[in-house]
């Protein structure tokens, strides 16, 4: 499934992979391996991780925003 998603992304299809599951089952390891595979194919990898101490809507995307050099509107306002 992972290789298929990466192949689709390489062919120009917008692709987002979301890994969910219980703590300790290997989500981070799988994400790390996916990133290695994608980068080896010359793809750009953006990654976000949820912070369990925060309950902000769309918190998962904070790392992606940073990678793109963007900031959310709520962070840009005083």
CA distance 72 to 76: 6
Residue range 26-42, pLDDT digits in tens = 998 999 999 999 999 99
Reported pTM: 0.66
CB 47 within 8 A of CB 31: yes
Q: How confident is the model at residue 71 (pLDDT cuts 50, 70, 90)?
A: low
Within 13 Å, how many C-alpha atoms sit on residue 74's CB side? 6
DSSP state of 17: -
Cα gap 28→18, rounded to integer Å: 11
């Amino acid at each position: 499934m992972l290789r298929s998603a990466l192949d689709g992304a390489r062919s120009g299809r917008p692709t987002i992979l979301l890994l969910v599951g219980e703590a300790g089952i290997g989500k981070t390891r799988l994400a790390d391996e996916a990133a290695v595979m994608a980068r080896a194919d010359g793809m750009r990898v953006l990654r976000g991780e949820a912070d369990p101490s925060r309950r902000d809507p769309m918190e998962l995307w904070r790392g992606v925003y940073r990678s793109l050099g963007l900031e959310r509107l709520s962070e840009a306002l005083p």
